[in-house]
Chains A and B, each alone.
Chain A
Amino acid sequence: NAGVTQTPKFQVLKTGQSMTLQCAQDMNHEYMSWYRQDPGMGLRLIHYSVGAGITDQGEVPNGYNVSRSTTEDFPLRLLSAAPSQTSVYFCASSYSTGPRGLSLHFGNGTRLTVT
């Protein structure tokens, strides 16, 4: 059981380039989300999805796009990379958004550097 798989593990981009960070989960989780982690700032929510075809913005959505065409996949697109987007990106999923609350399962992260 792979859990949450993120690819690539490392990426270097030049300013202005675009790319897609991939996230896939094999647990049939309805909820998926993207966070970025920066030193001293914890994790900040970029976008999330409560099911296929449904996405919503988090705390820091600017410069990022998402789509959720299947339950399994939740790719994060950087439209025009900027040095401020240098960070570690985590994808997470959970089985339910019901009354017991989320139990997030995290991937191992993608370390992105924008030069």
Chain B
Amino acid sequence: AQSVTQPDIHITVSEGASLELRCNYSYGATPYLFWYVQSPGQGLQLLLKYFSGDTLVQGIKGFEAEFKRSQSSFNLRKPSVHWSDAAEYFCAVGNNDMRFGAGTRLTVKP
């Protein structure tokens, strides 16, 4: 069955520093992969997705993610974090039967 692991429950970075959030997946075929962000008290918003082609995917808010089939990973990156990026981030795999990871909470230090 498809599944997602986000190894980091909580990450703290300084404003202006770079960010990488890890995601590992288990899926039987070429996966659909997603990153979503959730601000407190809100629903989730799609940041980016991979479904085929170029393995480096650009998303909204300056985020990007790289699909690495050999490592079963889809890590999210941002070169310079802003205070407004503080939120919870979810990796997901699949399509109709989409499965989410447990999430990584990002804290941004001034």
Which chain A residues have a beta carbon within 8 Å of chain B's beta carbons? 4, 31, 33, 35, 40-45, 48, 50, 56, 58-59, 90, 92, 97, 99-109
18 additional contacts (CB under 8 A) given A42-B100, A102-B96, A104-B98: A33-B98, A40-B9, A40-B102, A43-B92, A43-B100, A56-B96, A59-B99, A90-B44, A99-B51, A101-B51, A101-B95, A102-B32, A102-B34, A104-B44, A104-B46, A106-B43, A109-B42, A109-B43
Query: In the complex, are the beta carbons of A42 and B32 less than 8 A apart?
Result: no
Interface residues of chain B: helix, strand, loop or mixed (majority):
loop
Query: In the complex, are the beta carbons of A48 and B97 less than 8 A apart?
Result: yes
B90 beta carbon closer than 8 Å to chain A: yes
Query: In the complex, are the beta carbons of B32 and A106 less than 8 A apart?
Result: no
Which chain B residues have a beta carbon within 8 Å of chain A's beta carbons? 4, 6, 9, 32, 34, 36, 41-46, 49, 51-52, 90, 92, 95-103
